[in-house]
Structure 1
Amino acid sequence: MIVTTAGRPDAQSVALVEEAAERLQVPVVERKKRSIPKLQDIYQSDVLVAGKDRYSFYKRGSEEPFFFHPNSATYRLKRIVKGEVDPLVAAAGLVPGDSFLDCTLGLGSDAIIAASCVGADGRVEGIEADAVVAFLTETGLRRFPIEFPLLQEAMERIEVIHSEAVEFLKSCPSDSRDVVFLDPMFTTPIEESSNFETLREIGASYRLTDEWVAEALRVCRRRVVLKDHYESPMFERFGFVQQIRPYTKVHYGVLEK
């Protein structure tokens, strides 16, 4: 991977380039008015672009850039404010002060909802195995421009951890997190946005395993929650009690301690 500026770089985008190059240990390439496909062809590489207010990642062979956006967390949080019950919050049984470990952070939409519910006295950690996704999500959570204070506060409270999920779980003491959350994205796609599809292309791909579920159950104090397509065989295979939600593709399963 290489990192470069947008077409018309300014001081801020240059600073963002330097930050990404240092954090990800990748070379900086001058843009010189060259297109992204041209840079991909010349350097035979993925390209990370530092714009004025965000990073955009262009994977070779992908037509769409990947960038951080809170996505569904925005309207989900607005529904919570109106008094509606979020299905993740209900499945996890989250209350203020809880600790929530998201083993498959991605863009962090679920972690944002959890962070808002557990509040300032709670703790939300998000594990992301892919270095680029972890970097984009971490910087996006801190810097995404949004005029929704409740959402912004929740985003800033999330701790991003670049690690492979099972290995991180093995390092955790038993009964150390109230809820452990799994959304491995290996079955039928749930989200339909182009940005989510790009995430599926560039992010780490996993299959849920006996070891993963066992470690998650060991680490949690109350329950493990699985998010997946409603037709996923993983609910039954690993003993999750599937919570049926009519008229939606997204279902949650609960495995009690």
Structure 2
Amino acid sequence: MKTIVTTAGRRTEYTKQLAQNAATQLGLSYVDRQKRNIIQLQQHFQSDVLVATKSRWECHGLNSSEPFFFHPSSAKFRLKRLARGERDPLLEVCQLQAGDSFLDCTLGFGSDSLVAAFAIGDTGYIKGCEANPVLAFILQEAFHKGRTDYVEFESLMNQIQIISSDALSYLKQLDENSFDVIYMDPMFETLIKESDSIGPLRSLGVRESLSSEWIHEALRVAKKRVVLKAHFRSSWFKEFGFNQIIRPNTKFHYGFIEKAALNN
């Protein structure tokens, strides 16, 4: 989908410069608002619209009623639970420890990576792949340049390196045993009506389906485990040999493949 770059309705020289710089960096066209609203711009240019506001970036998808911008999504309440000493199912299946390395193949809002960052601490490291370069740009600006309203997560965001690439292409570049845990959440296999908060991401995200090649590369790069999150009825668990962890009354389950078990 085509994307143009513009400013918020009340343009300042600061937001104009931000928008022009982003357009150059991403190889997109800068368009002056000229008192047009987002819908008018979308319809006129038949494109998504990346908007520079005073404090953050927003991407208004042509086929979405809500903009994509960084927010911690489920990480906000999950981190509070962890701070109280409660458990998190992702951390349990990943078995992350302080100092581990974690590759998030499907970064999205980065909520799972934020939770992983809490577990591994500042001695570990995290990389997250985002296949849509515009979304990767928004996350990069939020995580490392302070272009976000969620500054309370700054220390965790700083631990996460944003990779503007699809997961399979990035995995192919890596050496064997490069990351302790490889994580994938290809959320578009089955739509969940209750997941309204990810609507903008669903509209703008690159739809990726698991393949034998993807799993092969993930297992090659992983030291310990490859972890999958999918709909509880997904055929992927059985098809690709994941040990599915049954979670009663939940729409999503986790599964894992233990690297050591394959080598025995």
TM band (smaller chain): over 0.9
Verify the 8 A CA contact 2:106 2:184 in the aligned structure 1.
Answer: yes
Structure 1 runs (4+) deviating above 4 angstroms are none
Alignment of 1:162-241 (within 5 A): 162-190=164-192, 192-241=194-243
Deviation of 1:114 after TM superposition, in Å, equals 0.8
Q: Decide whether the 8 Å contact of 1:69 with 1:140 is kept in 2.
A: no
Aligned twin of 1:93 = 95
1:32 and 2:19 matched: no
Give the CA deviation at 1:15.
3.2
Give the Cα–Cα distance (whole angstroms) in 2 for the partners of residues 147 and 162 of structure 1: 22
When residues 204 and 241 of structure 1 are mapped into structure 2, their CA distance, relative to the original with a 3 A threshold, is same
Shift of 1:9: 1.4
Mapped pair 1:21 → 2:29? no
Task: Determine if the alignment matches structure 1 residue 145 to structure 2 residue 149.
Answer: yes
TM-score of the superposed pair, with normalisation by structure 2: 0.92
Secondary structure at 2:29's aligned position in 1? coil
Conserved in 2, the CA contact under 8 Å of 1:190 and 1:228? no
What's 2:262 paired with? none
Q: Distance in 2 between matches of 1:5 and 1:216?
A: 39
Q: Deviations over 1:11-63 (max 9, x none)?
A: 43223213321221111111121111111222232211111111111122322
Q: CA deviation at 1:195?
A: 4.3
The 2-side partners of 1:193 and 1:36 are apart by 24
Output the amino acid matched with 1:123.
Y
Q: Which moved more, 1:9-18 or 1:163-172?
A: 9-18
Judge conservation of contact 1:56–1:65 (CA < 8 Å) in 2: yes
Counterparts in 2 of 1:191 and 1:125: CA distance versus 1, 3 Å: farther
Q: How does 1:26-175 map to 2 (within 5 A)?
A: 26-142=28-144, 143=146, 144-146=148-150, 148=152, 151-175=153-177
Contact 1:115–1:154 under 8 Å retained in 2:
yes
CA distance in 2, matches of 1:216, 1:110: 18
> Partner amino acid for 1:188?
T
Give SS of 1:32's match.
coil
Partner of 1:4: 6
Distance in structure 2 (CA, Å) of the matches to 1:11 and 1:82: 44
| TM-score in terms of structure 1 length | 0.94
CA change 1:131–1:192 in 2 (3 A) is farther
